[in-house]
Structure 1
């Protein structure tokens, strides 16, 4: 059975880059009728916070991405300890005592000699007495996996055939000196024991994948199908950072962007297929094709989500946004008309309060100097609200007869005076929503 996972670290809020991995793995599992696992990678006790775990679940739920089960690495430390001991017994995990400064000096020396900065495996030559001496100094050993120095090959679901010479890669550290289990080993143990069949993640993990394949094989596990999606850049090709608030999913939600706009965009961004706004998550899953994605860095602009959100909102019935309309202060009796008036004139749901404020309080009239006398005369001819459905037509007809104005010279100054806008919804509907008489 196809089993995929999304494995965020609860050290911050999910951002748009995290979403690609979540969505891709979710789509693969759902297409195959398989299992999608939410795995919280919380082996770092200092940086992992429960509030971020809650936020991860909240963001995924908001987007409509559901998981079949949830796992936490902090509850599986005994499994990592068992794997550590197995690798030690095999001679594939060895203890090292170099300090960060010593490792940095080694790297600089290699670079100066024109060699790649690969760990020299000096710790393999340490005697038990030397190790004891380091411990007596207060040094805490970290543990490296001894790679078989051969080519590691796999067919990547996006990048195609990959071949990496393990001799060009440092033996990866799996356990830190303070005992913290690192992602490289924890992920392997989890993927193996949870039966993960497919892993989609960013292209910055390609080297990790190579080393993890050897670790999986050493532990006797089945190697999943790997695929590495391109990394996102900003609209000008600049690097993205999850610290940019506008890219956090919770901030996009707060800014009123629609979940289906975000999912529709991310399900096609970087692929050979055009972005198409979908109505449901199921439609996105049905239309997802991993093989259509390319390896080149992919430009992402949060501004592209606004027109998609506009289109999504314009097609929504009141029932789907009733809570937001009510929260904007709109009385229930006027909610249906209000939504029909504004839904094609908003960018996000955050625009609702300002529209209701316009109807409730009236606009600050914007009148050109040459139109001021005309608008004042027209306002004198308008009665008090509430206004009927024919209020706009009867009022403008009376003003036309009184002043002789017609066409744009009649309608545009009055629209601007009533709404403060040069364009917008049908004024017959607007007048029915006005709670106060317009004034200069």
Structure 2
């Protein structure tokens, strides 16, 4: 069975980059009839916040990305300790005591010599007495995984064949001096124990993947299938990472972006398939193909979400937005007519308020000086309320016959006088909804 996972750290809100990872893993699992795990990476007790755990669940639920299992790494610390002991017993785990300053000096020296800034494994040469002395002076050291210095190769679902020389990579720190288990170890142990078969994540994790493959093998496991998606940039190709804080899912939600718009864009962005609005999750799943994605940096523009949102809303029946319309105070007998008129002229649901304000309170007439006499004459001919959908046609025909105006010269001044706007819904449908017409004078 295909099993995928999304493993966010609860140190902030999910942003658009996180969503890309979550969605790809979700779609792979659902397309194969497999399992999707939500796994909270909360091994850092200082930075992890419960409010963010709940926010992650809320955001995924809003999008319709349901999970089959929920796991927390903070509840599995004993299991990670077991794995660490196993690595020690196999001679693949060693304690190192260098300070950050010492490591920095080593890196600078290596770079000056034209060598890659890789940890020199000096800790492997320490005697037990030397280790005891360093512990007494500095406290516990960090624990590093001893890489086998050979090429690590795998076929990546997006990048193709990958080969990384382990000798060009530092032995990764898996446990900090304060005892905190780092992502690299916790993730490997979880993926093995939970039967994860497929992992999609950002291309910035490629080196991590290489080291994790060796850790998995050292623990007797089989590496899952990896795919590394491209990183997002801004619309001009600029780095997006510094702006991700303003691109959280809840920020986009607050701006009125609909889940279907967000999912439709992110399920295709960076692939060779065109972006198409897809309101049906089943069809979104059916049309997803990880092999269609490329490795080049992918431009993301949040403005692309709004035409998709508008298109989605235009397709919705009244029942799907009735609660929103009721909250505006639209009378039940006018709700259907109002939604039919307004939905073609909104980008987000928040725009409905402006149209209902116009219908309920009328608008300040927008009348050019040269049109004042014409508007006064036309308004005197407007039948008394209530109006119906035939009123606009019969009224403008009568005005045209009397004044000789026609086309844009007839319709535009009347629209502006009634709505205060140059564009909007079809006037034949809007006029019956106008409860107040200020242009009558």
Q: In the alignment, what sits opposite 1:21?
A: 21
1:375-414 equivalent positions in 2, closer than 5 A: 375-382=375-382, 385-414=385-414
Q: In the alignment, what sits opposite 1:350?
A: 350
The structure-2 alpha-carbon separation of the partners of 1:243 and 1:236, relative to structure 1 and needing over 3 Å to count, comes to closer
The structure-2 alpha-carbon separation of the partners of 1:175 and 1:385, relative to structure 1 and needing over 3 Å to count, comes to farther
1:429-440 equivalent positions in 2, closer than 5 A: 429-439=429-439
Q: In the alignment, what sits opposite 2:164?
A: 164
Asked if the contact 1:15–1:242 (Cα under 8 Å) also holds between the matched residues in 2, the reply is: no
1:47-196 equivalent positions in 2, closer than 5 A: 47-196=47-196
Q: In the alignment, what sits opposite 1:295?
A: 295
1:235-254 equivalent positions in 2, closer than 5 A: 235-241=235-241, 244-254=244-254
Any idea what SS the aligned residue of 1:285 has? helix
Q: Deviations over 1:117-146 (max 9, x none)?
A: 000111111222222222222433111100
Q: CA deviation at 1:383?
A: 5.4
Any idea what SS the aligned residue of 1:343 has? helix
Any idea what SS the aligned residue of 1:94 has? strand
Q: Using the alignment, how far apart are the partners of 2:244 and 2:287 within structure 1? A: 30
Asked if the contact 1:265–1:275 (Cα under 8 Å) also holds between the matched residues in 2, the reply is: yes
1:318-329 equivalent positions in 2, closer than 5 A: 318-329=318-329
Q: Using the alignment, how far apart are the partners of 2:332 and 2:102 within structure 1? A: 70
Q: Between Structure 1 and Structure 2, how many residues are aligned?
A: 440
Q: CA deviation at 1:83?
A: 0.7
Q: Deviations over 1:87-122 (max 9, x none)?
A: 111111111111111111111111111111000111
Q: In the alignment, what sits opposite 2:264?
A: 264
Q: In the alignment, what sits opposite 2:35?
A: 35
Q: CA deviation at 1:187?
A: 0.2
Q: Using the alignment, how far apart are the partners of 1:322 and 1:245 within structure 2? A: 33
**Superposed structure 1 runs of 4+ greater than 6 Å apart:** none
Q: In the alignment, what sits opposite 1:418?
A: 418
Q: In the alignment, what sits opposite 1:233?
A: 233
Give structure 2 stretches of 5+ with no counterpart.
Answer: none
Q: CA deviation at 1:242?
A: 6.8
TM-score, reference length from structure 2: 0.96
Q: In the alignment, what sits opposite 1:202?
A: 202
Asked if the contact 2:174–2:182 (Cα under 8 Å) also holds between the matched residues in 1, the reply is: yes
Give structure 1 stretches of 5+ with no counterpart.
Answer: none
Q: Once structures 1 and 2 are overlaid, which stretch shifts more, 138-147 or 232-241? A: 138-147
Q: CA deviation at 1:82?
A: 0.8
Asked if the contact 1:383–1:437 (Cα under 8 Å) also holds between the matched residues in 2, the reply is: no
Any idea what SS the aligned residue of 2:140 has? coil
Q: CA deviation at 1:255?
A: 1.1
Q: CA deviation at 1:372?
A: 2.6
Any idea what SS the aligned residue of 1:344 has? helix
The structure-2 alpha-carbon separation of the partners of 1:105 and 1:376, relative to structure 1 and needing over 3 Å to count, comes to farther
The structure-2 alpha-carbon separation of the partners of 1:32 and 1:244, relative to structure 1 and needing over 3 Å to count, comes to closer
Q: Once structures 1 and 2 are overlaid, which stretch shifts more, 394-403 or 213-222? A: 394-403
Q: CA RMSD in A?
A: 1.5
Q: Once structures 1 and 2 are overlaid, which stretch shifts more, 357-366 or 110-119? A: 357-366
Q: CA deviation at 1:154?
A: 0.4
Q: Using the alignment, how far apart are the partners of 2:259 and 2:182 within structure 1? A: 33
Q: Once structures 1 and 2 are overlaid, which stretch shifts more, 203-212 or 388-397? A: 388-397
Asked if the contact 1:96–1:142 (Cα under 8 Å) also holds between the matched residues in 2, the reply is: yes
Q: Using the alignment, how far apart are the partners of 1:398 and 1:308 within structure 2? A: 40
Q: Once structures 1 and 2 are overlaid, which stretch shifts more, 292-301 or 270-279? A: 270-279
Asked if the contact 2:383–2:395 (Cα under 8 Å) also holds between the matched residues in 1, the reply is: no
Any idea what SS the aligned residue of 2:103 has? helix
Q: Using the alignment, how far apart are the partners of 2:156 and 2:321 within structure 1? A: 42
Q: Using the alignment, how far apart are the partners of 1:237 and 1:416 within structure 2? A: 42
Asked if the contact 2:16–2:244 (Cα under 8 Å) also holds between the matched residues in 1, the reply is: no
Asked if the contact 2:3–2:29 (Cα under 8 Å) also holds between the matched residues in 1, the reply is: yes
Q: Deviations over 1:35-80 (max 9, x none)?
A: 1111111111111111111111111111111111110101111111
Asked if the contact 1:385–1:434 (Cα under 8 Å) also holds between the matched residues in 2, the reply is: no
